[in-house]
């Protein structure tokens, strides 16, 4: 304690220099905490978005993730309802579950033959109420603005398309889309006219057979052509109720969301319906390892003969790990810059203190102070600077974070068109707060060691002659 008392007195002897050094450390700590809190929130917001759309875990046919996009029907799960019931009724899994829902993904061609246009699409059949429940998941208080799928309470032939699909099928006007120029407005031929050709006879016949009692086609009617389970073409008519911006242009230009029963009827007809994935959303992300282990055990016992695998959302969305690596690399690079600045600032401060106190150091040595005591004194001064700088940095960063959190700023995570409030998660992240303060104190001690070692090696005679 005596050493720390002397170190504190020495720091107060030159208040201006000590305050300048402290200011550099405080600014560094505040910058690291604010960016670290922002990066943490960005990662959690991104995770929230992916969990809302994909769930935490998915049960799929083996090989579907790698090869299923080329032929989804070949990787269908036939007895999927029995699997869902087993998962929901399992005593270990039941307390962890929020939603367990099937989905069917297929490739096809959507045509708006009243305008003479068509394009290849990726269609997804879902249980709408389950999907909308999944989009309410918000384990981290991110205040998600994820839109609900506008298919709740709609007829079985309803669908939601991406705004890109609506634009390419020339349905902007009937769907009342803004900022959606027609081909004429951008100087391109439309391919449509008052005498636009009707759907090809074969497709029209298939559609008529599928919906013999359907009303006359509206301006939002499209025909979806897909291969059925036997490889033959099949067509269903869909009424587009809304166009959504999915955030990524490639997805926005291709995605159609429809009712699961309609998608199964298109692909499997009167055969036993299947799905391509069973999505599982948990209460907390931290439950994933336990839930995955239990699911693997369940599939290995009750469904041993079925070639199934379990994938987590990190595997399904590789960009999530890339987002983490991106923010970690920026935080690491920024930390190195701040540490280097602190290293040189503290080193310069301590070196100047050694020069100014050369006679004092020699006097202490002359009255019996050991070299280790001199070294310890200067290292304690650096340690005190680091601790005080870290504590002040935390105390200043907290109100700054509060102001940012209540500023009303928003941002859109990678791959999403909707936004989340900008939140700096400093308070409560004790690993970030105390880890930053401790690492700064460690850097300060390291930077103080060299001047302290130089002071300890000073000879008594040379020090007493110093003017």
Note the pLDDT tens digit of each residue in 378-435: 778 778 888 888 889 999 999 999 998 888 887 776 656 667 778 888 888 888 888 8
> What pLDDT was estimated at residue 345?
84
> Measured on CA atoms in the order 376, 382, 383, 388, is the torsion positive or negative?
positive
For the chain, percent of residues with pLDDT exceeding 70: 83
pLDDT digits (tens, 9 = 90+) for 344-382: 888 777 777 777 666 766 777 677 777 777 777 777 877
> What pLDDT was estimated at residue 186?
55
The top-scoring range by mean pLDDT among 38-42, 52-56, 205-209, 232-236 is 52-56
Q: Mean pLDDT, to the nearest integer, of 51-79?
A: 87
Q: How far apart are CA 382 and CA 388, in angstroms?
A: 10
Helix (H, G, I), strand (E, B) or coil at 125: strand
> What pLDDT was estimated at residue 247?
66
Residue 152 DSSP symbol: T
Q: Helices marked H in 253-287 — which ranges?
A: 260-268
> What pLDDT was estimated at residue 463?
57
The top-scoring range by mean pLDDT among 24-33, 113-122, 236-245, 288-297 is 288-297
- pLDDT over threshold 90, residue 70: no
Domain ranges of the chain: 2-47+321-465, 63-306
What is the model's pTM? 0.79
- pLDDT over threshold 90, residue 198: no
Q: What are the backbone dihedrals phi and psi of residue 105, each rounded to the nearest 5 degrees, phi first?
A: -110, 135
Q: How confident is the model at residue 129 (pLDDT cuts 50, 70, 90)?
A: very high
Give yes or no for a contact between 342 and 440, defined as CB atoms under 8 angstroms apart. yes
> What pLDDT was estimated at residue 90?
93
- pLDDT over threshold 50, residue 192: no
Give yes or no for a contact between 374 and 457, defined as CB atoms under 8 angstroms apart. no
Q: Mean pLDDT, to the nearest integer, of 84-104?
A: 94
Q: Which of 55-64, 131-140, 204-213, 225-234 has the lowest average pLDDT?
A: 204-213
- Counting Cα atoms < 13 Å in the Cβ hemisphere of 232 gives 7
- Best CA proximity match to 86, nearest among 276, 299, 261: 299
Q: How far apart are CA 256 and CA 249, in angstroms?
A: 13
Q: How confident is the model at residue 214 (pLDDT cuts 50, 70, 90)?
A: very low
Q: Mean pLDDT, to the nearest integer, of 307-311?
A: 93
Mean of pLDDT over the chain: 82
């Amino acid at each position: 304690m005596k050493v720390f008392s002397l170190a504190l007195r020495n720091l107060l002897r030159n208040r201006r220099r000590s305050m300048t050094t402290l200011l550099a450390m405080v600014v560094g700590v505040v910058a690291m905490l604010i960016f670290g809190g922002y990066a943490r929130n960005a990662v959690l917001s991104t995770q929230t978005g992916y969990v809302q759309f994909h769930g935490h875990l998915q049960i799929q046919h083996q090989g579907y993730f790698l090869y299923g996009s080329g032929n989804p029907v070949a990787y269908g799960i036939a007895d999927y309802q029995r699997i869902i019931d087993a998962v929901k009724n399992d005593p270990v899994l039941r307390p962890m579950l929020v939603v367990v829902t099937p989905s069917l993904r297929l490739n096809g061609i959507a045509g708006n033959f009243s305008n003479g246009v068509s394009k290849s699409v990726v269609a997804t059949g879902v249980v709408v109420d389950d999907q909308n429940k999944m989009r309410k998941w918000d384990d981290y208080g991110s205040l998600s603005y994820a839109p609900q799928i506008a298919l709740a309470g709609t007829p079985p032939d309803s669908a939601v398309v991406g705004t890109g699909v609506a634009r390419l099928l020339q349905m902007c006007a009937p769907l009342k889309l803004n900022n959606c120029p027609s081909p004429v407005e951008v100087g391109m031929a439309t391919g449509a006219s008052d005498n636009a050709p009707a759907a090809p006879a074969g497709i029209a016949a298939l559609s008529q057979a599928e919906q013999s009692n359907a009303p006359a086609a509206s301006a939002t009617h499209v025909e979806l052509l897909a291969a059925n389970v036997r490889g033959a073409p099949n067509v269903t008519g869909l009424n587009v109720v809304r166009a959504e911006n999915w955030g990524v242009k490639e997805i926005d230009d291709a995605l159609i969301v429809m009712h699961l029963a309609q998608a199964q009827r298109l692909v499997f007809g009167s055969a036993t319906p299947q799905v391509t994935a069973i999505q599982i959303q948990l209460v907390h992300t931290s439950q994933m390892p336990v839930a995955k282990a239990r699911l693997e055990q369940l599939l290995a016992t009750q469904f041993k003969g079925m070639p199934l695998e379990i994938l987590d959302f990190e595997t399904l969305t590789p960009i999530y790990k890339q987002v983490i690596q991106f923010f970690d690399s920026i935080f690491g690079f920024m930390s190195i810059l701040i540490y280097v600045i602190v290293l040189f600032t503290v080193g310069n401060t301590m070196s100047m203190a050694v020069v100014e106190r050369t006679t004092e150091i020699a006097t202490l040595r002359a009255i019996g102070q050991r070299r280790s005591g001199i070294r310890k004194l200067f290292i304690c001064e650096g340690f005190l600077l680091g601790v005080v700088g870290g504590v002040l940095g935390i105390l200043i960063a907290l109100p700054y974070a509060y102001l940012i959190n209540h500023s009303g700023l928003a941002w859109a995570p990678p791959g999403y068109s909707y936004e989340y409030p900008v939140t700096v998660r400093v308070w409560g992240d004790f690993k970030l707060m105390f880890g930053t303060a401790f690492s700064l104190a460690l850097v300060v001690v390291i930077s103080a060691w060299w001047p302290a070692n130089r002071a300890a090696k000073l000879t008594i005679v040379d020090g007493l002659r110093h003017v």
